[in-house]
């Protein structure tokens, strides 16, 4: 009851803005420490809030992690959509989409890579919407692959399997990538694009 009274005293716009601020800070901390090791206390301290104050905006840690993953995934989907609708060849579109995936897998490692096994992080209430978003994400790769086949740009007979192979290879980045490695983000994007495009020919 006390929580409801306090929230009613805050305008909806301020609540939305504060939630966004919390989510952005949580994404930063999770990418630094990992979503399992990051604590609500650390997120609150980053924002100069009390731990209790966070629970006025999010039910629990899983709810906050869900919102972080949702935000990052939606941003990635927006970029894939833009790449697909760009006025370039299907090969260039796919290169752009591969580069987008590599960027998020590297820069938003913890927040983004929950896309691989969301059932290990989220309960049923959160799992369904995340799986729906994941299908939407994969769908943009399906679209460009099918468009490439139709135009004769790609010579493959099993588009769904090829898409799974492509994303599987991209997702493996999380197993070995280190910030201190000898390859820049741009170099990784180029390497992955060059080799994965060979599969499409």
Q: What is the pLDDT of residues 109-128, one digit of tens each?
A: 777 877 778 888 888 888 99
pLDDT tens-digit profile of 31-80?
Answer: 888 888 888 898 888 888 888 888 889 988 889 888 988 888 999 999 99
Q: What are the E-state strand segments in the chain?
A: none
Q: Say how far apart CA 141 and CA 162 lie, in whole Å.
A: 10
pLDDT tens-digit profile of 79-96?
Answer: 999 999 999 999 999 999
pLDDT tens-digit profile of 148-165?
Answer: 999 999 999 999 999 999
Q: Give residue 16's pLDDT.
A: 85
Where in the sequence of the chain do the CATH 1.10.357.10 domains occur?
61-200
75 neighbors 83 (Cβ within 8 angstroms): no
43 neighbors 50 (Cβ within 8 angstroms): no
The residue whose two tokens read 């260039």 is 92
Where in the sequence of the chain do the CATH 1.10.10.60 domains occur?
1-58
122 neighbors 66 (Cβ within 8 angstroms): yes
The residue whose two tokens read 């493996």 is 172
Tokens of 143: 């679209």
Q: Which of 5-19, 87-101, 160-174 has the lowest mean pLDDT?
A: 5-19
Confidence of residue 9 (pLDDT cuts 50, 70, 90): low
Top-confidence residue, 115 or 133: 133
Give the ranges where the chain is alpha helix by DSSP (H): 2-8, 12-33, 40-46, 51-54, 61-84, 90-107, 109-112, 124-151, 159-171, 173-176, 185-200
61-200 topology per CATH: Tetracycline Repressor; domain 2 (1.10.357)
User: How do the residues of the chain divide into helix, strand and coil, expressed in percent and rounded to 5?
Assistant: 75, 0, 25
Confidence of residue 195 (pLDDT cuts 50, 70, 90): very high
Q: Which superfamily is assigned to 1-58 in CATH?
A: Homeodomain-like (1.10.10.60)
Q: Is the pLDDT of residue 5 over 70?
A: no
Tokens of 169: 């290879």
Tokens of 77: 């989907």
Q: Give residue 4's pLDDT.
A: 45
Helix, coil or strand: residue 135: helix
For 172-182, what is the mean pLDDT?
82
């Amino acid at each position: 009851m006390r929580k409801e009274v306090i929230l009613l005293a805050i305008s909806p716009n301020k609540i939305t803005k504060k939630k966004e601020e919390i989510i952005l800070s949580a994404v930063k901390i999770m990418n630094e420490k990992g979503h399992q090791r990051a604590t609500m206390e650390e997120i609150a301290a980053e924002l100069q809030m009390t731990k209790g104050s966070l629970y006025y905006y999010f039910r629990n840690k899983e709810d906050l992690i869900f919102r972080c993953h949702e935000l990052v995934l939606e941003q990635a989907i927006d970029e894939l959509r833009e790449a697909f609708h760009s006025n370039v060849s299907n090969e260039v579109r796919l290169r752009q989409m591969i580069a987008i995936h590599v960027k998020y897998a590297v820069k938003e490692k913890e927040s983004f890579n929950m896309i691989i096994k969301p059932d290990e992080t989220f309960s049923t209430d959160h799992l369904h919407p995340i799986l729906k978003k994941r299908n939407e994400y994969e769908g943009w790769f399906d679209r460009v692959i099918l468009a490439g086949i139709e135009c004769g740009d790609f010579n493959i007979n099993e588009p769904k399997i090829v898409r799974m192979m492509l994303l599987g290879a991209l997702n493996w980045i999380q197993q070995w990538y280190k910030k201190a490695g000898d390859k820049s983000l741009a170099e990784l994007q180029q390497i992955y694009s060059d080799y994965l495009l060979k599969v499409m020919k």
